[in-house]
Structure formats: structure tokens, C-alpha cells
Amino acid sequence: MSIGDRLAAARRQAGLTVTQVSQRTCIRETIIGGIERGDYSACGGDFYARGHIRSIARAVGLDPEELIREYDATSAPPQQMTAADVFQPFAPVRLKERRRANWSVVLVIGLIAVLGVAGYRYLGSATAKPPRPAPTVQPARKNKTPAPARAQAASPPAHVFVRVVAHQGGLTWVQLSLATGTVIYQGDIGASAGIVAKSWTARRSLKLQFGNPGGATLYLDGKKQPFSETTVPITVVCSRTACRTTYVG
């Protein structure tokens, strides 16, 4: 029996119509009808198909994870790449060490100065010279305009740092993509999945798609980000300053 047949049979056994399931899950009736017929084209992609299957399964009393495993085995495309293939560890910035004074040069200069003073005193004592006129007082020179302070080293560009933490006993399906559309992570996050939290860092914006937003919390640079905590799939785009929900359903 296919996924659509099982969902339709469970709905009829629960005494629910397609309209009632649509009202409970906020999913359009045409999408529910298509899924029951095995047609996922109206879902808008593999990610949203997963979320719709989860929501409908909960509404009619079926185990959503069993249906998702069956969907992965029969319909879902393979992962494109992993986070390890995209992100590289950032090299720490080395501070330049201050140059040490060249003591050999300092010693030579000091020795030349001592010999010069000694020679001047010796010659001065051997030859008497008339007293010199009082030196003309030179007007005080204006202080030169101080050289502008060196421009501070430009701070390294900020990065987008996000972290998804599953609630106690919660489970959510997450897909993370770069701004270019490349998928770098796809899977469940929760105690039952063996992963209770997941973090990512990128130089540009990140797009996260949640199959069950109510099962986890999203953080940006350590700050909790509000979003729709429901069972309906959502899409969230995180920049360097904030995360915002761009699609629901």
C-alpha cells in the first residue's frame, strides 16, 4: 500500500473529510488530494512534501516517521553534498610581533658618541679660543602637524552563525542551503535522531527549511530567533543581523 493510500485509509477510518484535514493542518485541499493519489507535484519540492506528509499523518493518527522513511526510500532524491564539503575551518589571525631593538647598532652609535665628545674636549683644551658671542635666540618653531594615526586594521568580515536546538522530546526535519541554493545539510534533529543540536557558519546568508518548526529553537549568534512554532513547514532566511520567515505552508 502506498503512502497516499495509507493516509487516505487512515483519514476515512478517523471519520475525517479532506476539508477537515485541510483545516487542521493549514494545507490546501488540492495538495492533500494529490498526496493521497501519490502526486507530489503540487507540494513545491521534496522538502515541502516531507512536511505535508508529517502534518497529514499526525492529523489522521499515523506515525509520520514511518511514512517519511518510506518516502525517502521511494521518492526522495539523494543528498547533494555535506556541510564538511562546503565549510572550511577559519584560520586564526596572527598578530605581528614587535621587532626587537638591534643592540649591536645601538652599541656602535653610543661608542661613536663617546669618542666624539672625548675628542672635542681634548682639542678644546689644547687650543684656546676667544669667547663666542651669545647665540641668537631663534623663534620657536611651530609644531608640525602630527602624522595621522595609522588606520586601524579592518575588522574581519562578519559571518552568519546559526544553531538549531531540538526541544526535549521534540523532533524536527531541517534542510540548510547556501545563498547559491546548494544544499549542505538535510536530516532530522532531535533526541530520537541522535542529534539534539546542529550549528553552521557561513559568510553569506543561510536558508533553513523546517518540517516541524515547533520541535526546535533557532539561534543567530547566540540570540533566539522567533518563528512560527507549528507543524506546518516553513522557510527561514538568516542574514548577519536577523532571521526572517519567508514562506509558510
Torsion of CA 19, 12, 76, 227, to 10 degrees: 40
Helices 3-13/29-36 angle, 10° precision: 120
Rounded average pLDDT over 51-80: 85
Contact between 56 and 21 (Cβ < 8 Å): yes
Contact between 43 and 52 (Cβ < 8 Å): yes
Give residue 115's identity as a one-letter amino acid code.
Answer: L
Say whether 68 sits in a helix, a strand or coil. helix
Cα 54 to Cα 208: distance, rounded to the nearest angstrom: 18
Task: Give the lowest-confidence range in 68-77, 157-166, 184-193.
Answer: 157-166
Closest by Cα among 37, 18, 39, 16 to 28: 18
Domains of the chain in sequence order: 3-74 (1.10.260.40), 83-88+157-248 (no CATH)
Size of the chain, expressed as the number of residues it contains: 249
Q: Tell me: the pLDDT tens digits for 129-183?
A: 555 666 666 666 665 555 554 544 444 456 888 887 877 777 788 888 988 889 8
